[in-house]
């Protein structure tokens, strides 16, 4: 008996070791950030830009980073300074200095969509602070085609748009953010939920009329970052506005994308819905009497129910009475 126990234990340990060896080693995002010598904000931006690849956690706990991916990044030339430079984000003042222009001109570039913000936050005055990739700003300033914009007068058509209140910073950020989220999944329902997350719920309800499909989309809806704003505060409402499409053409584009994403999602699998309960099967009196009639005579005699009372031979008894008065 003891020999069998040892054998089973050895087999169990061997199976566990093989399973562990076959499963690729991964690290949590926090540990990967430490090993790559990045602050959490820098690490998140590196994920956003695709500098570091992640994989889904098989246990359903978010995303993780393969050990091989960590080693790949650490082996790149100039690590970690080169990586930090790739994910360096700057505000208006530093961005203007990188491009050799005034802060006012830089802001005009951003409002016109010539430079695209990569992230934002709210300062203590609840003002939106947009951040831009330093690497992209340097490339913009080094491009000879942009020289007239950097030193000359802003073209009249662009000035008219600015005077009309054009500000593409929120819209461009939303587009960039959506692209990042879409790259994280290949599931059509999750992709549809990402598009829906940028639309007002009323817009989503107009396109997704089935309540079960809307509920299914909500299961995949990406979690919105609070950006330091407490729930149900003016700051939280401001963040929500930035994350929700407002321009009519942007809304139209997102609605069309959501409709197409739903077509692909439905083709893959329908949204789950409750299984309808089967109605009770009606029982006829004849079907109830049949089992009773088939029971043994002893059971029938013991059963007080009138439906199983033995049939008396009335005609035979009457004939005998008449024969024997």
- What is the CATH classification number for the domain harbouring 32? 1.10.1660.10
Q: Is the pLDDT of residue 299 over 70?
A: no
| Secondary structure, 3-state, 46-90 | HHHHCCCCCEECCCCCCEEEEHHHHHHHHCCCCCCHHHHHHCCEE
pLDDT of residue 203: 96
Q: What is the pTM of this model?
A: 0.76
Residue 221 lies in a domain: yes
Q: Is the pLDDT of residue 310 over 50?
A: no
Question: Looking at per-residue confidence, does 267 or 223 come out higher?
Answer: 267
Q: How confident is the model at residue 10 (pLDDT cuts 50, 70, 90)?
A: very low
Taking alpha carbons only, the member of 124, 130, 122, 258 closest to residue 188 is 258
Total count of domains within the chain: 3
One domain, residues 218 and 237 = yes
Other residues' Cβ atoms within 10 Å of the Cβ of residue 182: 14
Q: Is the pLDDT of residue 172 over 80?
A: yes
Question: Which tokens go with 23?
Answer: 């499963």
Q: Is the pLDDT of residue 267 over 50?
A: yes
One domain, residues 177 and 263 = yes
Residue 2 lies in a domain: no
Residue 42 lies in a domain: yes
pLDDT of residue 146: 94
One domain, residues 194 and 233 = yes
Report the Cα 213 to chain-centroid distance in Å: 14
State the Cα torsion 15-21-26-28 to the nearest 10°.
40
Over residues 228-240, the mean pLDDT reads: 85
Q: Which residues face 132 on adjacent strands?
A: 90
Q: Is the pLDDT of residue 296 over 60?
A: no
Which of 167, 197, 231 lies at the terminal end of a domain, its last residue? Answer: 167
One domain, residues 69 and 106 = no
pLDDT of residue 85: 96
* Helix pair 211-220, 188-196: axis angle to 10 deg: 90
pLDDT of residue 15: 44
Residue 12 lies in a domain: no
Query: What rounded mean pLDDT belongs to the chain?
Result: 84
Q: What is the DSSP code (8-state) at residue 296?
A: -
One domain, residues 81 and 115 = no
Over residues 302-312, the mean pLDDT reads: 46
Chain segment 79-129, per-residue pLDDT in tens: 999 999 999 999 999 999 999 999 999 999 999 999 999 999 999 898 999
Over residues 137-156, the mean pLDDT reads: 93
Q: Is the pLDDT of residue 190 over 70?
A: yes
One domain, residues 236 and 185 = yes
Say what percent of the chain tops pLDDT 70: 78
Residue 211 lies in a domain: yes
Question: Looking at per-residue confidence, does 131 or 228 come out higher?
Answer: 131
Residue 307 lies in a domain: no
pLDDT of residue 302: 47
Residue 115 lies in a domain: yes
pLDDT of residue 290: 53
86: buried, middle or exposed (CB in 10 Å: 19+, 13-18, 0-12)? middle
Q: How confident is the model at residue 300 (pLDDT cuts 50, 70, 90)?
A: very low
Least reliable range by pLDDT among 9-13, 43-47, 243-247, 248-252 = 9-13
Question: Looking at per-residue confidence, does 191 or 13 come out higher?
Answer: 191
Residue 140 lies in a domain: yes
Chain segment 20-66, per-residue pLDDT in tens: 443 459 999 999 999 999 999 999 999 999 999 999 887 777 899 99
List the domain range (segments joined by +) for residue 208.
171-268
Task: Give the three-state DSSP class for 150.
Answer: helix
pLDDT of residue 62: 82
One domain, residues 98 and 66 = no
Sequence length of the chain is 325
State the Cα torsion 46-48-50-51 to the nearest 10°.
0
Q: How confident is the model at residue 278 (pLDDT cuts 50, 70, 90)?
A: confident
Which of 253, 268, 283 lies at the terminal end of a domain, its last residue? Answer: 268
Q: How far is CA 288 from CA 188, 232, 282, 297, 302, in A?
A: 53, 63, 11, 17, 18
Return the CA Rg of the chain: 36
Least reliable range by pLDDT among 205-209, 274-278, 297-301 = 297-301
Question: Which tokens go with 267?
Answer: 């083709």
Which of 232, 252, 268 lies at the terminal end of a domain, its last residue? Answer: 268
């Amino acid at each position: 008996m003891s020999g069998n126990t040892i054998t089973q234990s050895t087999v169990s340990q061997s199976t566990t070791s093989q399973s562990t060896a076959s499963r690729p080693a991964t690290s949590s995002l926090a540990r990967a950030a430490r090993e790559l010598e990045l602050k959490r904000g820098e690490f998140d931006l590196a994920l956003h830009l695709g500098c570091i690849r992640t994989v889904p956690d098989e246990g359903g706990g978010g995303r993780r980073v393969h050990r091989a991916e960590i080693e790949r990044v650490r082996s790149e030339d100039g690590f970690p300074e080169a990586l930090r430079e790739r994910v360096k984000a700057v505000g208006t003042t530093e961005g203007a200095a990188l491009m050799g222009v005034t802060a006012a001109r830089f802001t005009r570039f951003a409002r016109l969509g010539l430079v695209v913000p990569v992230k934002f936050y709210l300062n203590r005055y609840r003002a939106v602070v947009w951040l831009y990739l330093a690497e992209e700003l340097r490339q913009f300033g080094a491009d000879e085609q942009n020289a007239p914009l950097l030193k000359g007068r802003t073209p009249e058509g662009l000035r008219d748009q600015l005077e009309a209140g054009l500000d593409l910073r929120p819209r461009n950020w939303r587009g960039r953010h959506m692209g990042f989220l879409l790259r994280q999944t290949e599931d059509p329902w999750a992709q549809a939920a990402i598009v829906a997350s940028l639309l007002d719920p009323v817009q989503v309800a107009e396109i997704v009329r089935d309540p079960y499909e809307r509920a299914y989309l909500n299961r995949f809806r990406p979690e919105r970052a609070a950006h330091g704003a407490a729930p149900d505060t003016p700051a939280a409402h401001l963040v929500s506005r930035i994350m929700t499409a407002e321009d009519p053409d942007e809304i139209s584009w997102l609605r069309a994308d959501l409709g197409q994403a739903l077509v692909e999602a439905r083709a893959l699998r329908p949204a789950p819905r409750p299984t309808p309960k089967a109605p009770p099967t009606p029982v006829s009196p004849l079907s109830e009497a049949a089992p009773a009639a088939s029971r043994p005579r002893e059971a029938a005699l013991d059963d007080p129910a009138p439906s199983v009372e033995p049939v008396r031979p009335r005609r035979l008894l009457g004939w005998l009475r008449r024969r024997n008065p």
